[in-house]
């Protein structure tokens, strides 16, 4: 009886095994293969011809020239286009728009700002920026937007978000649009070490990935001077020290020379803008390996469109002084070898035009590959996300873009991205 039963089981098992093998071989592979005539290796600056990138799920499994494509893989053939890693913008404000630079911001509600952010997240992703660092939004709208993107509710780039930026009372990043009888103070205002530590910790409690500090006055605020420092060295050290202790990096809005130096001495990870950086500031940033995130194209757009967005005259006058000076000083910093990461301050000008910053960097002395590195390997290093983004390599997220033309010859080709993939899914 046992011999007969065993024979019967074997007789049924063999065709079932053959059927399973046949089904497995016929089943579609979970691998996607992206083919393109060229792929830019942003580390070496070399173009890889006949490029193939293999993707499983959200991640790249292999990338190179003429790789074998597994049977059953979904193939995306981009023809004569050039593949690059998804771009990274280290200074955005997705929940804002250019017209918010004037008094109209008073009438903009938190829900409206959040929906503005959803629109701008989509525009930014479509422009080829698959990762951004958002450095300043009221009422944690940027953190809510980040979470909605991560949950798949709205399309947008990967985000590192700061929440409300820290500011002294009446400084840049405090609300200076309202009359005093309204007693309006921005959520990030903190004076003195104790308050600064409390706001830093509160931002982290509510989900901040990075701590943003307004270390000097700014352009688009009343009653302050971009050349003057706001926080003291003691306050800055407390904020940066706590941020680092709690596993976050810290970024400082800093136009003026003294504010830049104080932030660097406090251990800041990046200086945003750097408009009035001087030789001593350049020397300190190189010694401390502090990143500079210049935001330069906005100078062209803002001044040309000031009337259309009803920019208040005092703010326009500041812009006309500060922004041209910024280009001269940033050019000196680039030439001196200060580490540069890509940023735009998008919101001061329309989201989606972010890639226009590349042309300014080249005008100031960078080669096209150096400019492209600021928005790929450099930016990923500043983010602390080198294991995730910044290159087309095995193990990284399948975040890629494709353009016509040769970006190593004309960096402005990046202003017209033809194809975008984020996490293995084609989004444009």
Question: Length of the chain in residues, anyone?
Answer: 428
Helix (H) or strand (E) holding 82: strand 82-85
Domain with residue 41: its CATH number is: 2.30.40.10
Residue 193 and residue 104 in one domain: yes
For residue 335, pLDDT beyond 90: yes
Mean pLDDT, rounded, for 365-373 = 98
pLDDT at residue number 3: 40
Average model confidence (pLDDT) across the chain:
93
Domain boundary among 354, 379, 410: 354
Residue 215 placed within a domain? yes
Mean pLDDT, rounded, for 172-187 = 89
Q: Who has greater pLDDT, 18 or 235?
A: 235
Residue 11 placed within a domain? no
Q: For 15-24, 181-190, 198-207, which range has the lowest pLDDT when averaged over its residues?
A: 15-24
Mean pLDDT, rounded, for 263-269 = 98
pLDDT at residue number 101: 83
Residue 20 placed within a domain? no
Domain with residue 182: its CATH number is: 3.20.20.140
Neighbours of 1 (CB within 10 A): 5
Residue 92 and residue 206 in one domain: yes
For residue 186, pLDDT beyond 60: yes
pLDDT band, residue 26 (cuts 50/70/90): very low
Residues 315-328 have pLDDT tens digits of 999 999 999 999 99
Q: Which of 146, 168, 167, 171 is nearest to 157 (CA)?
A: 146
Residue 310 and residue 334 in one domain: yes
Residue 79 and residue 91 in one domain: no
CA 35 to chain CA mean position, Å: 26
Beta bridge partners of 420: 401
Residue 291 placed within a domain? yes
Q: Tokens for 183, please give them.
A: 């007693």
Q: Which of 298, 386, 265 is nearest to 101 (CA)?
A: 298
Q: Which of 168, 253, 247, 235 is nearest to 203 (CA)?
A: 247
pLDDT at residue number 329: 98
pLDDT at residue number 251: 98
pLDDT band, residue 106 (cuts 50/70/90): confident
For residue 23, pLDDT beyond 80: no
Residue 96 placed within a domain? yes
Residue 416 and residue 333 in one domain: no
Residue 212 and residue 78 in one domain: no
Which region, left, alpha or beta, applies to residue 176 given φ > 0 means left and ψ of -120 to 50 means alpha?
alpha
Mean pLDDT, rounded, for 383-405 = 98
> Please, which residues have CB within 8 angstroms of residue 6's CB and are 6 or more apart in sequence?
none
For residue 13, pLDDT beyond 90: no
Q: How many helices (H) and strands (E) does the chain have?
A: 12, 15
pLDDT band, residue 9 (cuts 50/70/90): very low
Domain boundary among 354, 373, 403: 354
Domain boundary among 304, 338, 354: 354
Residue 340 and residue 418 in one domain: no
Q: Which domain holds residue 77?
A: 31-85+392-426
In three-state secondary structure terms, 280 is helix
Residue 72 and residue 201 in one domain: no
pLDDT at residue number 229: 97
CA 292 to chain CA mean position, Å: 14
Phi, psi for residue 40 in degrees, rounded to 5: -90, 120
pLDDT band, residue 172 (cuts 50/70/90): very high
289 is an active site residue: no
Q: How many domains would you assign to the chain?
A: 2
Residue 183 and residue 35 in one domain: no
Percentage of the chain with pLDDT > 70? 93
Neighbours of 96 (CB within 10 A): 26
Residue 360 placed within a domain? no
pLDDT at residue number 14: 38
Mean pLDDT, rounded, for 217-234 = 96
pLDDT band, residue 351 (cuts 50/70/90): very high
For residue 202, pLDDT beyond 50: yes
For residue 28, pLDDT beyond 80: no
Percentage of the chain with pLDDT > 90? 89
Residue 103 and residue 42 in one domain: no
pLDDT at residue number 176: 85
From 97, 142, 209, 212, active-site residue: 212
Residues 30-53 have pLDDT tens digits of 999 999 999 999 999 999 999 999
- pTM of the prediction? 0.93
For residue 135, pLDDT beyond 70: yes
Q: For 121-135, 148-162, 173-187, 274-288, which range has the lowest pLDDT when averaged over its residues?
A: 173-187
Cβ distance 132 to 159 under 8 Å? yes
Residue 54 and residue 96 in one domain: no
For residue 4, pLDDT beyond 70: no
242 is an active site residue: no
Residue with tokens 């009446």: 170
Residue 375 placed within a domain? no
Q: For 11-20, 89-98, 138-147, which range has the lowest pLDDT when averaged over its residues?
A: 11-20
Q: Which of 341, 244, 229, 226 is nearest to 285 (CA)?
A: 341
Phi, psi for residue 218 in degrees, rounded to 5: -135, -175
From 345, 396, 399, 422, active-site residue: 345
Q: Which of 330, 323, 293 is nearest to 210 (CA)?
A: 293
Residue 147 placed within a domain? yes
Residue 167 and residue 298 in one domain: yes
């Amino acid at each position: 009886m046992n011999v007969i039963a065993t024979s019967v089981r074997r007789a049924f098992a063999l065709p079932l095994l053959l059927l399973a093998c046949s089904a497995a071989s016929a089943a579609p592979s979970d691998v996607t293969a992206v083919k393109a005539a060229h792929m830019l290796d942003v580390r070496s600056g070399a173009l890889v011809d006949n490029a193939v990138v293999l993707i499983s799920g959200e991640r790249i499994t292999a990338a190179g020239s003429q790789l074998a494509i597994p049977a059953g893989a979904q193939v995306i053939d981009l023809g004569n286009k050039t593949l690059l890693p998804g771009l990274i913008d280290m200074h955005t404000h997705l929940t804002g728009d250019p017209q918010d630079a004037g008094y109209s911001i008073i009438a903009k509600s938190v829900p409206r700002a959040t929906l503005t952010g959803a629109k701008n997240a989509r525009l930014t992703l479509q422009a080829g920026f698959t990762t951004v660092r958002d450095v300043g939004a009221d009422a944690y709208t940027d953190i809510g937007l980040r979470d909605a993107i991560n949950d798949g509710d709205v399309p947008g780039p990967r985000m590192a978000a700061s929440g409300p930026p820290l500011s002294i009372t009446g400084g840049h990043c405090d609300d200076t649009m309202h009359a005093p009888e309204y007693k309006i103070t921005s959520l990030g205002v903190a004076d003195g070490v104790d308050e600064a530590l409390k706001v830093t910790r509160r931002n982290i409690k509510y989900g901040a990935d990075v701590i943003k500090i307004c270390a000097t006055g700014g352009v688009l605020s009343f009653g302050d001077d971009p050349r003057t420092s706001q926080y003291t060295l003691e306050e800055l050290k407390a904020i940066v020290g706590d941020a680092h202790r709690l596993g976050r990096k810290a970024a400082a809005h800093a136009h003026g020379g003294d504010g830049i130096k104080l932030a660097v001495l406090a251990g800041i990870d990046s200086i945003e803008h750097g408009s009035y950086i001087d030789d001593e500031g350049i020397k300190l940033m190189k010694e401390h390996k502090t990143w500079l995130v210049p935001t330069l194209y906005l100078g062209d757009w803002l001044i040309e469109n000031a009337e259309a967005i009803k920019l208040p005259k005092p703010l326009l006058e500041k812009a006309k002084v500060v922004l041209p000076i910024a280009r001269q000083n940033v050019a000196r910093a680039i030439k001196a070898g200060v580490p540069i990461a890509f940023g735009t301050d998008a919101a001061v000008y329309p989201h989606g035009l972010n890639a226009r910053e590349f042309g300014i960097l080249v005008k100031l002395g960078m080669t096209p590959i150096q400019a492209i590195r600021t928005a790929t390997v450099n930016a990923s290093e500043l983010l602390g996300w080198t294991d995730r983004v910044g290159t087309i390599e095995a193990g990284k997220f399948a975040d890629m873009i494709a353009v016509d033309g040769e970006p190593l010859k004309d960096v402005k080709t990046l202003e017209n991205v033809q194809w975008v993939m984020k996490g293995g899914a084609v989004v444009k």
